[in-house]
Structure 1
């Protein structure tokens, strides 16, 4: 069986990717802070900023492909701790591209829609980058550095992602839902727009990129939506309390990292290759059904 190395397997996207890929590959997943066991996946504790340790992993596993999802992806953290976040987001990423080049194996990298300034959406792959925060800057540096070291790298710019919680990571929708269930106020931006996809859809896009892409590709969803309107849809589909949902603007919330207003992605290039996100309503309805089936399964185990 082909061997694949997935960095950041304990993260939200990495975990979803492992669920999808394990029937076809022998999967090795890395984690650093959050230990997690994933059935049929060989999990390894690895400090990706330790280049010698990284070389050792490549020598021992001898992967035939790498998907690099590990990152420090909190913009506020990157803004406040630029050196620590640069080490994982830029230096480690470029080293991974170099090792993939040395071994002539496919390399897939997860970048972000935050490489753009939000003033000229929807963004295509060839549009000039102009990040407004340090996280976006670091991802731009990683994109450039990785493609310089290994032009065959597939650089996948990812949108906002949602979906079922992983054992050690959630998407943005879990805190939203918890806040509303507790009867607290949830303030969501009406002036920040993205093109979200589910974690499962994003993982399918990465596998498509692994097979078909060299260079930059956008893996956004088909719908441009504000955080507030996404919250409204979430409330409707999951039948959550509506009283706590409140509209606000970016300027109302003080954040360390500046946020672009509209980084919607034009993902036509990926759609033409077979990338096929569902509508947001369909994605959320699938999550509801999956949640209901898990509850029924647990209840039947208890009763038996």
Structure 2
């Protein structure tokens, strides 16, 4: 089997991607601080911001392809620690692209829907980027840097993702579920819209892009939905207490990083390639049946 190097396997998306990728690849996964064991997979500890370490991993493993999911992806953290997050979000990403270019290796990079300002959704791949926070700015810079050194790379703009928790990471729904189970009030935005997908669907999209895409592709879901609407479906499917679910506006919550109002992605290009996305309700029904 060919070797696939996946960075950031201790992260939420990286872990789910590994489960799926093992069906067709010999998978090598990198982690930095959060060690975990995944059956039948080789784990490699590496500081991706150290170029010599990174180069050594490529020389040792000699991968046939790379999917780069490792990132500092919390917008508020990036806003407050921009120099630290720049090293992993931009510098390491461009270094990985350079190493892939040197060896003509297929590369899929995980970007974000937050490269847009939220004023002209739904967004196509050709639409102008205009981030409103540092995390989005760093992903924009990484996209440009990667394509400059390696135009054949697949730049995958990812939407809001959810799913079951992993040994070392959670998605946003775990916090929602716990708050409601504890009988506490959960206030969700009615004026912030995304096109969410499950981590499993996102992983399938990344593997498809690795094989079929050069340049930018959107891997969003097929429905535009607010956080509050998502919460209502979650409460219904998982039969959670709903009397504490409240609606609010973005302006009601003070955050370090500005949030765009609507970064819904038009993913018709990916759908045409065979990417398949379920509705939020269908995804949550599957999640309920597997937990």
Deviations 1:42-75 (A, max 9, x none): 0111100000000000000000000000000000
Q: 1:117 maps to which residue?
A: 117
1:1-304 equivalence runs, <5 A: 1-291=1-291
In structure 1, the gaps of 5 or more residues are 292-304
Secondary structure of the residue aligned to 2:5 is strand
CA distance, structure 2, for counterparts of residue 263 and residue 288 of structure 1: 27
Shift of 1:103: 0.7
Q: Secondary structure at the match of 1:131?
A: coil
How far apart, CA to CA, are the structure 2 residues paired with 1:45 and 1:171? 23
Shift of 1:34: 1.0
Matched positions, count: 291
CA–CA separation in structure 2 for the residues paired with 1:253 and 1:279: 28
CA distance in 2, matches of 1:255, 1:121: 22
* Secondary structure of the structure 2 residue equivalent to 1:233: helix
Question: Counterparts of 1:200 and 1:97 in 2: how far apart (Å)?
Answer: 25
Per-residue CA deviations over 1:53-111 (Å, capped at 9, x if unaligned) read 00000000000000000000000000001100000000000000000000111010000
Stretches of 4+ moved more than 4 A in 1? none
TM-score after normalising by structure 2: 0.99
Mark the runs of 5 or more structure 2 residues left unpaired by the alignment: none
TM-superposed CA distance for 1:23, in Å, is 2.0
- Secondary structure, counterpart of 2:102 in structure 1: helix
Query: By how many angstroms is 1:24 displaced?
Result: 1.1
SS of residue in 1 equivalent to 2:259: coil
Whole-Å Cα distance in 1 between the matches of residues 35 and 52 of structure 2? 21
SS in 1 for 2:18: helix
**Cα deviation code 1:244-300 (max 9, x no counterpart):** 111000000000000000000000000000001111111100011111xxxxxxxxx
CA distance in 2, matches of 1:138, 1:259: 15
In structure 1, distance between residues paired with 2:53 and 2:289: 42
RMSD (Å) for aligned C-alpha atoms? 0.5
Query: For residues 243 and 46 of structure 2, what CA distance do their matches in structure 1 show?
Result: 45
